[in-house]
Structure formats: C-alpha cells, structure tokens
Amino acid sequence: MRCRIAHAHPSQIGAPSDRPEFHALAMPRHDRGEIDHVLLDCARLPGLRLLRIYVPAPSLRGDRPLPVVLVNDGHKAFEPSHQHRVSPLHQTGTLQLHRLMDGLLCEGRIRPAVVVAVAVHASRRADQYVPIRTRLGDVAFGGHGDAYLDLLEHEALPAVRQHLRSVPLAESAADRVLLGASIGAVAALYGALTRPAVFGNAIALSPSAWVDDGFLTRVVEGNERVPARIAADVGHGEQPAMRDHCGRLFGALSARGNGNVSACTVDGAHNEDSWRARLPRLLQHVLRPR
C-alpha cells in the first residue's frame, strides 16, 4: 500500500484494506478532512437549504485551487446524526464521501476536491431533480430541474466560495462535478449535458433513465457530442426496466463521448451501500490525478 502520509495498516484497527472509506479510519485524525455546515436561504426554489461542506486536510490538499463536487441528496452524502453511536466500521445507508475522499487522496488515486452535499426536502425531490413535468402512473412530478441547477450555480457555489475564503476553489467547468444517484443522477447528468460550460463533469449512480420513457437518452441523442466528462453505472441486481433504459442511455453517451464517458453495468444493487462500493472507480474517472 503506497500512501501519501504514514499511518497504521487498516488491518490493525480491524478495517478491510481494499476499501478506501475504511482505509481512512487508519489515518491520523489531523490528516482527515473536516465537514462544516452552511444554512443557505435560497431565492430560487425558496426556503432554507443545508450545505454540508467537506474540505481535505491541509496535508492532502496540495497548492492548486480545488475542484468542487456538488452532491444531490445531501443527507445521504455523509453520516446522518442519528448514527453517531454506531461504529464507523458498521455504518450503513450513506455514501460516506468524506471517508472515501480521505482514503482515495491518501492513496493518490484522485485529485483533492471540496465536496458540497446539497440538502433537499424529500417531498420535493423528484420535482427539483427532473427538468420536465412528467408522470409515473397517476403521480405527476418534475418541472423544476433548471431552477435547481440555477440554484447550484448562482447561490450554492457563491455561498461555498464565501464560506471557504481561505481555501482557493477552481473556477473552470472542468473542475466542477455534479454527483447523484437514482433520480438525483438525472439532475447530475442533465446539468452536465445541458450546461457543460458550468458543470464539466457528472457522476451518475443508477440513473433513473426511465423518466418520461427515456427523456435523458433523447437529450443525448439530440447532440452530436457529449462535451462533459461522465462516469455512470447501474447494478446487475437492479430492475430489468432500469437496466434496459440505462443500457440505451449509456450507449448514446458512449457513442458521443469522445472517450470521456465511462458508463457500464456492474455488480451491485439500488442502495447507498452498493453505490459507496462503486464510487471510487467513478471518482477516479472525473478526478484522476494530473
């Protein structure tokens, strides 16, 4: 194991050495990133919205401005507060992105980046992540996806810059990543496909490509090329209709991606524990070291 900082082997604390989120637990506390909170009073999609911001430790931060990863369903990005008494080795149901980032950074597998977990009200989730008004059976949803992307660009990013005044942030689209899972992945892909000058990368875990019978696939097919860098996957254990729609979407993305798209079917299911195990490969695709 080649690491950028010296620390105990993960096995010495009972952690599997092949998982970066567990690797991070063996690192000295002062070499792990910190998570801070900002409560944003939004003008677009009005209301209070919590931003939880991970910043790598100075020892792993380097001297370049940091990319920014914006995460949909922010309540699932790190550990929820009710799990504070559960051993870190047994926490479940979240992406544990702070630990994934720490472990991958220590191993030199990705560039350091700030991670911004953007909260959403559960009752408004599908409305805010899907840009068109559509239906699933008798349930109508969607229509505010563009307003949500406006919120990220014009409210969330400025708030993060203001909060992290002492931490230089990269300003180019190539250093901004949208990350989402399931219907949150619709917003991530849609943002990178339609606003590549703002969001130059997307990570999509099990994207809900079924929305409006392939809306995202039609967006891709309406363009000659996909300028953004995209990493996406879907699990073998997911519903057949989900896999079929993702297969068509992934084929369209790959055909227009000029080598910048990694999209495939992998071992896995439709839940946070599976997504956490799959995330390192996707993070390496969009944040590979230079």
Q: What is the pLDDT of residue 226?
A: 96
| 54: exposed, middle or buried (Cβ count in 10 Å: 0-12, 13-18, 19+) | buried
Reference 212, options 273, 286, 126, 105; nearest CA is: 126
Q: Which residues pair with 139 in a beta bridge?
A: 136
Give me the percent of the chain exceeding a pLDDT of 70.
98
DSSP secondary structure letter of residue 66: B
Report angle CA 80, 86, 87 to the nearest 5 degrees: 120
pTM for this predicted structure: 0.96
Reference 115, options 150, 41, 167, 151; nearest CA is: 167
Query: pLDDT of 162-181, one tens digit each?
Result: 999 999 999 999 999 999 99
Q: What is the pLDDT of residue 9?
A: 84
- Ranges of residues in the chain with a pLDDT under 70 are 1, 80-85
Domains of the chain: 10-286 (3.40.50.1820)
Q: Residue 240 corresponds to which tokens in the numbers above?
A: 């057949």
Query: pLDDT of 52-83, one tens digit each?
Result: 999 999 999 999 999 999 999 999 999 765 55
Q: Residue 161 corresponds to which tokens in the numbers above?
A: 């810059």
Strand order in the sheet with 47-55: 34-42, 47-55, 114-118, 68-71, 176-181, 201-205, 229-235, 261-266
Reference 214, options 189, 179, 178, 181; nearest CA is: 189
